[in-house]
Structure 1
Amino acid sequence: MLTRRHIRVKVMQCIYALIQSKDDSLEKQEKFLKVSIENMYVLYLLMLSLLVELHRLAEKHAKHASTKYLATEEDAYPNRKKFIENELLLQISNNKSLKRELEGRKLNNWYLNEEYVKIIYKEVVASDIYKTYMSSEKSSYDTDKTMIIELFKNVIAPNEKIYEYFEDDKLTWIDDIPIVNTYLVKRLRKANATVNETFFLPELLKDEQDLQYANQLLTKTLLNDAKWEKEIEGKTPNWDNDRIAEIDSIILKMAICELLNFSSIPEKVTLNEYLEIAKEYSTPKSSIFINGVLDKLAKEYKSTGQLQKMGRGLQ
């Protein structure tokens, strides 16, 4: 689920948190990193379970509507139960493995905060995506899947109330929401009628190496902070340390650390990855500045033999 770039961002967040809190406890930061990574999976589960709760609320509304005497907009649809019978939605709602995972982690957020589910449900029913889907007599797994994906992308994911809820719950989720939402959409696109239950419960990390990489990148960047500081100073003669933004400084130090300490990661991968992170988390001018500094350092390290790389490497 998590790529190496996501892991780099998580390490960057940890280092930034350490600077802000002025807490030099490496043990605390390692714990914070592990929890922060694990919380991304919790966020994924909550977004997936939101679909389950929407389905449950739709069933509740359908039962209530059947006892009414006055006609409603739903009565005009060819099949009033089409949303409830959506194959992808049923696949997720009836997923016993997902239910066990949610219960095991005690993730009853939507039960405790049902008002958010109701807000989303109202927006879903009022959307053109829902109305067009319900008005059509055509039905298949693919059309059902397309509809849920479009609803998620255009109605659920952009909802400000949901964003505010997650932001208030865990600060690190601010940066995680777009990553998790993008991954969930990709997962839904790959779904088909025959996938097993575990398809919707992917592994958080590809393997144990990813967690080792995260911890090593964090510790080696922090323990050699003074050393990386001098490396940067040597390549920014016209810049005072105070003029380099904290995020830019962290990105540079992490990149230098990776260049010199992770021989299996190709130089080009490191430079590209940190440049992309700089573009996303810093200013356009900062990314140009960081690119220039890293380019100079990489050339110097190669000429002095400090840059030792082997194999094809990992991203």
Structure 2
Amino acid sequence: MLTRRQIRVKVMQCIYALTLSHDESLEKQKKFLRVSIENTYTLYLLVLSLLMELHKMEENFIRLSSKKYLNENGEKYPNKEKFLNNAVLKQMVTNSLLQNELDKKKLNNWDLHQDYVKIVFNEIKKSELFEQYMLNGAHSYEEDKNLIASLFKEVIAPNERIYEYFEDDKLTWVDDIPLVNTFVLKQLRKVNEEYSQSFFLPKLLKDTDDMVFADQLLTKTLLNNKKFEEEIQIKTPNWDKDRIADIDAILLKMAICELTGFSSIPERVTINEYLEIAKEYSTPKSSIFINGILDKLVKEYRINGKLKKTGRGLL
């Protein structure tokens, strides 16, 4: 679920938080990193549980609308329970593994914030996607899947109130929201009738090496902070230390750490990764600045033997 680039971003966030707080506790930052990574999965589960909560709200709506004085739209739809019986939604709400995971983590957020669920529910009901789906008397798994994926992409994911809720809940989720939404959409498009219940519970990290990488990148960068800072200053003699943006300085230190401390990661991969992160998280010219510094350092490291890379794909 999390790629190496996203892991690098989380390490960057930890170091930036340390820079602002001036808290030099390595153990505290390592704990913050682990929690930040784990919270990405919590956000993923909350997004899925929102879909499940929408199904529950539709169930209540159908029950209430069966009373004549609340029966507003039922008559115009060939099957007023079509959305309630949507196959993909039912796969989620009947998924015992998913429900157990939500219970284990005590993720009852939507029970406590039904107003947010209602906002999304009403937006869905007003959407053209929902109207066309309900007016179509035919029924198929593919139609059900396409509806949920489309509603998620066009109605749920862009909802500003839901975004604000997640943003207020946990600061690190600001960067996780696009990642999680993209992943959920991929899952909704890939799910099929023969799915395993574990389909909606993917691994957060590809393997244990990813967590080791995250931990070592944070630790080595922080422990060698002064040394990396001096290397950057040597390569930027005309720049005052305070003129270099905090994020640029952090990304440069992390890149130097990877180049010299992670022999299995190709130098080209390291440079490309940090240039892409700089484009997204720093100033418009940051990637050019960072590229220039790293290019000088790589040439120097090759000459003095500090660039010791092993394995495949290092050309």
Normalised-by-shorter TM-score class: over 0.9
Is 1:67 the counterpart of 2:67 in the alignment? Answer: yes
Displacement of 1:313 in angstroms is: 6.8
Is 1:286 the counterpart of 2:289 in the alignment? Answer: no
Residue identity matched to 2:281: Y
Number of the residue aligned with 2:49 = 49
Query: Is the Cα contact below 8 Å between 1:110 and 1:116 reproduced in 2?
Result: yes
Displacement of 1:74 in angstroms is: 3.6
**1:97 and 1:289 mapped to 2: Cα distance?**
48
Number of the residue aligned with 1:160 = 160
RMSD across aligned positions (CA): 1.3
Is 1:151 the counterpart of 2:151 in the alignment? Answer: yes
Displacement of 1:71 in angstroms is: 4.8
* Aligned-residue identity in percent: 64
Number of the residue aligned with 2:178 = 178
Number of the residue aligned with 2:263 = 263
Is 1:238 the counterpart of 2:274 in the alignment? Answer: no
More off after superposition, 286-295 vs 10-19: 286-295
Q: Deviations over 1:198-246 (max 9, x none)?
A: 1100111111111110000000000000111111112212211111110
**2:313 and 2:68 mapped to 1: Cα distance?**
64
SS of 1:79 mapped into structure 2: coil
Residue identity matched to 2:82: K
Number of the residue aligned with 2:3 = 3
**1:70 and 1:26 mapped to 2: Cα distance?**
60
Residue identity matched to 1:275: L
Residues 150/177 of structure 1: CA separation in 2 closer, same or farther (3 Å cut): same
Is 1:119 the counterpart of 2:127 in the alignment? Answer: no
**1:147 and 1:298 mapped to 2: Cα distance?**
50
SS of 1:188 mapped into structure 2: helix
Query: Is the Cα contact below 8 Å between 2:74 and 2:80 reproduced in 1?
Result: yes
Number of the residue aligned with 2:216 = 216
- For normalisation by structure 1, the TM-score amounts to 0.97
Structure 1: gaps (5+ residues): none
Deviation beyond 3 Å, 4+ runs, structure 1: none
Q: Deviations over 1:259-285 (max 9, x none)?
A: 110001111111111111001101221
**1:71 and 1:105 mapped to 2: Cα distance?**
38
Query: Is the Cα contact below 8 Å between 1:74 and 1:80 reproduced in 2?
Result: yes
Q: Deviations over 1:160-200 (max 9, x none)?
A: 11111111111111111111111111111111111111110
**1:235 and 1:142 mapped to 2: Cα distance?**
57
Residue identity matched to 1:180: V
- For normalisation by structure 2, the TM-score amounts to 0.97
Query: Is the Cα contact below 8 Å between 2:64 and 2:70 reproduced in 1?
Result: no
Number of the residue aligned with 2:254 = 254
**1:139 and 1:304 mapped to 2: Cα distance?**
68
Number of the residue aligned with 1:58 = 58
Alignment length (residue pairs): 314
Structure 2: gaps (5+ residues): none
Q: Deviations over 1:108-158 (max 9, x none)?
A: 000011111011100011111111111222321111111111111111111
Equivalences for 1:194-205 in 2 at 5 Å?
194-205=194-205
More off after superposition, 298-307 vs 254-263: 298-307
SS of 1:75 mapped into structure 2: helix
